[in-house]
Amino acid sequence: MHVLLFDDPAIRPHLLPFTFTRPVAALRCGILTLAEKWQHRLGVDSVGYLTQPYLQTKFPAGDVSGPALIVNGAVCPDDLLTRQVQALQPGQALYSDELLVAAHVADASLVAELIQDGIPETKQVAEPVTVIDRPWQLFLRNGVEIRRDFALLTKGRTSQPVGDAHTIVYGAENIFIEEGVKIRAAILNAEDGPIYLGKNSQVHEGAIIKGPLALCEGSHINAGAKMRGDNTVGPFSKVGGEVGNSIVLGYSNKGHDGYLGNSVIGEWCNLGADTNTSNLKNNYAPVKIWSHTAKRFVDTGQTFCGLMMGDHSKAGINTMFNTGTVVGVGANIFGAGFPRTFIPSFSWGGAAGFETFQLPKANEVAERVMARRNLPYDAVERDILKAVFDATAEDRIWEKAK
């Protein structure tokens, strides 16, 4: 059965800036992306995506000419929900109140109409489901999802040994080490949550790691880092300094000292040395952050909320991000003082003001950065950034003044 993960049109816009450059199901929460969670649980070799047209080449749908199991890409599965989805018969749909969770359809090419019009034969979920429909829910759910993914990925398997006499381990039964991992003189404390070290990852000297933590394939926790729990470091990333309850989606660097808390960092980002995020207002009031959909600041209802940074954005040394800052795609932030708490995509500047980071220059940087990971910045990637650049023009208000 072909599995298709669809972007719910009522959810995707609220997950910008991260969904500018990926489908909802390609977001990472826990060890795995939402798509990988479904793929593992449903036991399929691959999944397809039903997403924005400009993303479809990079995230293909596959064959949509016949029957398929369609799944809401914003929903995190567990054992019970997976069984309910697998039990769906042709023509049946599974809802959580008014939210379409999954359906067994005869013709996947008609999914858009089915989502809009509904499916006659419906069932309700047996218990409430986890839906990622706002950016801050990624870090709020991260600890729980690390635990779920850890159980899913390690069941029936044997961990590699720590293999370093100078590394101190607490809660060894909650630590899983994949092939090729290198650990040197670190502290691993998994008493309060699991620690997962992905294939060929490295934990450097003096790093202090408290679970739950997911260190994905090829990533590094740098010397002296302090990982305070509920953290995910996505594939091929480097993280140092102090990090708490944050997600780095992948291919990004926060290599130096500085604090990152209650934050989500996209792919191909870089935080310069001593970059710091505030995650708590001085008056302890709930944090408001920019909504690309509402075109205004919205209340998260959270006391702690740090930085939301879209793909391909960079921050120079000593950058200070205020509580609840949202940075779009392809921005370059630098200079003294606190920049504004909404920095549009393709911004260039800081507290002193912004100009547009023009697309040819942004393309040059992206090509250099991706080449460092031996990945091509090809026409597909260029077309995605071009689509985002055009879609976010109205956010760059200084362009209208010219």
Task: Supply the DSSP string of 13-67, one letter for each residue.
Answer: GGGTTGGGSS-GGG-B-SSSBHHHHHHHHHT-S--EEE--GGGTTTS-----SS-
Model confidence at 375: pLDDT above 70? yes
Res. 113 pLDDT band, cuts 50 70 90:
low
H or E element in which residue 348 lies: strand 347-350
Average pLDDT over the chain, rounded to an integer: 95
Cis peptide upstream of residue 17 (ω within 30 degrees of 0)? yes
Decide: 215 and 243 in contact? Cβ < 8 Å.
no
Percent of the chain with pLDDT over 90: 91
β 175-177/195-197 pair status: parallel
What integer pLDDT is reported at residue 118 of this predicted model? 65
Residue 110 has pLDDT above 90, yes or no: no
Q: What is the pLDDT of residue 57?
A: 97
pLDDT tier at 400, thresholds 50, 70, 90: confident
Give rounded-to-5 percent helix, strand, coil for the chain. Answer: 25, 30, 45
Return d(Cα 43, Cα 246) in angstroms, integer: 29
- Asked whether residue 111 carries a pLDDT value surpassing 90, the answer given is no
Give the range among 117-131, 164-178, 245-259 with minimum mean pLDDT. Answer: 117-131
Q: Distances in Å between the alpha carbon of 118 and those of 22, 98, 376? A: 25, 10, 41
* Nearest Cα to Cα of residue 143 among 306, 303, 265, 30: 30
User: What pLDDT sits at residue 112?
Assistant: 65
Per-residue pLDDT tens for 142-197?
999 999 999 999 999 999 999 999 999 999 999 999 999 999 999 999 999 999 99
Question: What is the pLDDT, as a whole number, of residue 65?
Answer: 77
pLDDT at residue 312 tops 70:
yes
What percent of the chain stands above pLDDT 70? 97
Are the CB atoms for 29 and 249 separated by under 8 Å? no
Write phi, then psi, for 232 (nearest 5 degrees). -125, 125
pTM: predicted TM-score of the whole model, two decimal places: 0.95
pLDDT tens-digit readout, 211-223: 999 999 999 999 9
- What pLDDT score does 106 carry? 81
Q: pLDDT tens digits, residue range 195-204?
A: 999 999 999 9
Q: Which residues pair with 99 in a beta bridge?
A: 96
Yes or no: say if 212 and 189 are a contact pair by the CB < 8 Å rule. Answer: no
Among positive and negative, which fits the CA dihedral 32, 232, 78, 135?
negative
Average pLDDT of the residues in 110-124: 72
pLDDT value at position 103? 92
* CA dist list (Å): 187 to 169, 223, 265: 6, 11, 25
Strand partners, 104: 69
Q: Averaged over 363-381, what is the pLDDT?
A: 96
- Cα separations in angstroms, 74 against 139, 365, 376, 391, 401: 14, 31, 29, 22, 38
Cα 310 to Cα 19: distance, rounded to the nearest angstrom: 9
Q: Provide the pLDDT for residue 108.
A: 74
Under 8 Å between Cβ of 75 and 85: no
Q: Which of 139, 138, 137 is nearest to 261 (CA)?
A: 139
- Non-local (6+) Cβ contacts of 356 within 8 A are 346, 347, 348, 396, 398, 399
Say whether pLDDT at 117 is over 80.
no
Distance CA 133, CA 13 (A): 9
pLDDT in tens, 258-296: 999 999 999 999 999 999 999 999 999 999 999 999 999
pLDDT value at 402 more than 60:
no
Q: What CA–CA distance (Å, rounded) separates 185 from 176?
A: 17
Residue type, 202: Q
* Residue 165, both tokens: 């006499």
Q: How far is Cα 270 from Cα 108, in angstroms, rounded to an integer?
A: 39
Give Cβ neighbours of residue 148 (< 8 Å, ≥ 6 apart): 30, 37, 76, 78
